[in-house]
Amino acid sequence: MRTTAASLAAPLLLAASAHALPELSISKRDAKLATSNVARGLVKRGGTVGTNVFDILTYSTGGAYYANVTIGTPPQDQVVILDTGSSDLYFDASTAAACEATGPYSCRGGTFTPKDSSSYTIVDASPAFNTSFGDGSTAVGPFAEDIVGIGNVRISNVQFGVAETVNSTTGYAIGLMGLGYSENEATTHIYPNMPEVLRDTGVINSRLYSVFLNDVGETSGTILFGGIDTTKYTGELATLDILPDVITGAVDQFITTVTSLSATIAGNTTSLFTGGTNSIAAYGNSDVALPVLLDTGSSAWSVPTTYYDDFIAPLFTYIDQDGYCSCSHQDDADSVTLTFGAKLNITVPAREFIIPVYNATTDDPLPYGDGTQACAFMIVAAEPTGEGFQTLGDAMLRSMYIVFDLDNGQLALAQAAVNSTARPSVVTVSAGPSGIASAISTAYSGAPTNTWSIAPEVQNATASFSVSTAQSTIGTATGTAALPADAQISSGGETGSASSSGSSATTTKKGGAAGLVVPGVEWSGVWVTGTAVMMAALGAGLMM
C-alpha cells in the first residue's frame, strides 16, 4: 500500500496462451477516440493475458507475490511485486546504490539498465517519480517509457518509474507493479498504468483482472487480465461494490467491508462480531463492520487494536504477546470465516495465517520456547490508520479468488480452489456492467451498479501504444522452477534444523515456496533486536 494513495495490482496467467496475436497499434489521443476505435473493432483484440505469480520470502517476511515481466529492447528480465495497494510500475535501476552492492541488499528481482535499451525515453526527469510505502520504504527517480513485456504481449511506450534511489526498510529492494487506479499514482501528471494500458490497446476489454494466490505451500498462482478462470474457485462468485475513499469521496482503492467474523477452534465455532453496514458508514467508529483494503502488497491482516484485544487474542490463547506462537498450531483444523458485504463467506484455514519464521542468515527455522518451531500469527493489531480502513493482506487473500473490476467499481469474490490441478478454463469478460455475469455460467450473485463516483481512465493521454506478440511467453515456469534461481534451495525440500539454548527444533521444510528464503538477505538486524521489533516488521514490514 502506498502511503498517500494506494493500490497495487495483480499478475495474470494464461495457460491457454496460444493466442496468435496480430501486430496492431493504437494511438490514444483521448479516451473517447480509443474507445470508439475499440468499439469499431479496428483494434479490438478482446482477449485476456495472464502470467504466473509466485511467492518467495515466506518465512522471512511473511511473504509477497511476484510476477515476471520484461522491459526494454532487447528485453531485460525483471521480477516485480504485485501490489493491488499502489498504482505505479517501477523497476530498480542498476545504478541504485542498493543494487550495486553485491551483498545481501542487492536487488534480487533484477535491475534495469536504461542505457542498454534502445527504446528507452525519459518522460519526466528525476525526482518526478517519488513514492513511499506503508512500511516506510521509498523509491525515487525519473518517469520513463519503454516496451513492457507481460504474459505473451509486448507493449511499447508504457510509462513506469525508474528507482535510482531505493531506501527499503526490509533491506530487500525489488521492482513493483502497482495495479490500482491510475488516480493513485505517485505523481500529479496521471498517466495510463498497466491495467489501463492493457485496455487501451485492446488486449483486454475493460480494466479488470483476477488474482489467485493459491495455498501457502504452493509455488505458483496466477493473475489473469481481462478474464476469469472458473476452475480457480468454488461456490458462488459474488460481486460487491467498492467503497469510496473517505478522503477523496471517489472509488479509487479496493475497499470493501467484513460484516462478520467467526472462528472455529477445536471444532467449536464462535461468532466474534456480526452486523454493521456494508457501506461508507462502516468507516464510523461505532460501526462494527470493518472496512478492509484488499492489498496483495501486504502480508498480514491488520485489525484495529480493540478488535484484536476483544476478539482475536482471547480466542487464540496460544498467541504470545509479541504475536508469535508455536508452529504446531499450523496443523490444527482451526479457521476463521470472514463474511464480506453480508453476502459471501470466505473460510481461511490456520495454515494460511500461521507462518513459520526463519533465520535468514542461516535458513534455519527459528525455535519457539517449547522446542517447536516459531510461527508468526498473521492477524495483527494495528493502530487506526486515519484512512478509514485496514489492510487485508495475503494471509487472507490466499483463500480468495478475487476479480478486481475497476471500470465498474466492484470486486467479485469467491472461495479459492487452492491446490487446484484442474485444467484452466478461462472466460473473457466484456466491457460494461454485465460483463462478468454474461461471461460465467457458474453460480453468480451480481450487485447493482455502483453509484459512487468511480475513478475514470486517464483523459487526454497522448501516449501511442503498440502491441506485439512476445517471442516467447514470459513467466511460464511452474513449480519450484517458477522461482528465481537464487531463491531456490538447491537440494529441494529437505529437513532443516535449528538449535538454540540447548533445545533443538527440527522441522521438515515442505517443498516449494513455503520452504524458501532468499539466501543471504540479512534480517538479523530486524529479527534479533527483539520480538517487539520483529512484530512491527511483520505487521508493517511488507506493506506495499
Binding site for ligand NAG (CB under 6 A): 30, 32, 52, 54, 68, 77, 79, 110, 127, 130, 136, 140, 167, 215, 217, 262, 268, 270, 339, 343-345, 359, 361-362, 366, 418-419, 459-460, 475-477, 481-482, 484-485, 524, 527-528
Going by C-alpha positions, the residue among 272, 252, 275, 251 that lies closest to residue 262 is 272
* CB count in 10 Å sphere of residue 275: 10
Query: Smallest distance from the beta carbon of 285 to ligand NAG, in angstroms?
Result: 25
Burial 190-227 (b: 16+ CB within 10 A, else e): bbbbbbbbbbbbbbbbbbbbbbbbbbbbbbbbbbbbbb
Query: Smallest distance from the beta carbon of 447 to ligand NAG, in angstroms?
Result: 14
Tell me, yes or no, if 331 is annotated catalytic.
no
CB closer to ligand NAG out of 266 and 286? 266
- Taken as a whole, the chain contains a residue count of 544
CB closer to ligand NAG out of 177 and 429? 177
CB closer to ligand NAG out of 173 and 436? 173
Q: SS3 of 475, please? A: coil
Per the DSSP assignment, residues forming a β-bridge with 508 are 495
Give the Å distances, CA to CA, from 478 to 53, 137, 422: 9, 30, 15
CB closer to ligand NAG out of 77 and 320? 77
CB 262 within 8 A of CB 272: yes
Burial 481-494 (b: 16+ CB within 10 A, else e): ebbbeebbbeeeee
Query: Smallest distance from the beta carbon of 127 to ligand NAG, in angstroms?
Result: 4
> Which one is catalytic: 295, 334, 364, 405?
295
CB closer to ligand NAG out of 302 and 339? 339
Backbone Cα Rg of the chain: 22
Residue the block writes with cell 542498476: 94
Per the DSSP assignment, residues forming a β-bridge with 239 are 412
Query: Smallest distance from the beta carbon of 22 to ligand NAG, in angstroms?
Result: 25
DSSP state of 490: T
DSSP 209-265: EEEE---TT-SEEEEEESEEETTSEEEEEEEEEPPPPTTT-SB-S-EEEEEEEEEEE
Q: Annotate 65-127 with three-state secondary structure.
A: EEEEEEECCCCEEEEEEEEEECCCEEEEECCCHHHHCCCCCCCCCCCECHHHCCCCEEEEEEE
CB 392 within 8 A of CB 296: no
CA pair distance 283, 5, nearest whole angstrom: 17
Query: Smallest distance from the beta carbon of 269 to ligand NAG, in angstroms?
Result: 7
Query: Smallest distance from the beta carbon of 514 to ligand NAG, in angstroms?
Result: 8
CB closer to ligand NAG out of 22 and 189? 189
* CB count in 10 Å sphere of residue 419: 9
Which residue type does 226 have? G
CB closer to ligand NAG out of 438 and 497? 497
CB closer to ligand NAG out of 123 and 344? 344
Question: What is the rounded end-to-end Cα distance, in angstroms, of the chain?
Answer: 4
Which residue type does 532 have? A
Which residue type does 503 have? S
Query: Smallest distance from the beta carbon of 130 to ligand NAG, in angstroms?
Result: 4
CB closer to ligand NAG out of 244 and 512? 512
φ, ψ (nearest 5 deg) of residue 40: -80, -5
Pairing of strands 153-163, 89-92: parallel
> Which one is catalytic: 83, 200, 334, 407?
83
Give the Å distances, CA to CA, from 236 to 226, 278, 343: 19, 19, 10
Q: SS3 of 18, please? A: coil
Tell me, rounded to whole angstroms, the distance of Cα 24 from its chain centroid: 30
Tell me, yes or no, if 486 is annotated catalytic.
no
Active site residues: 83, 295
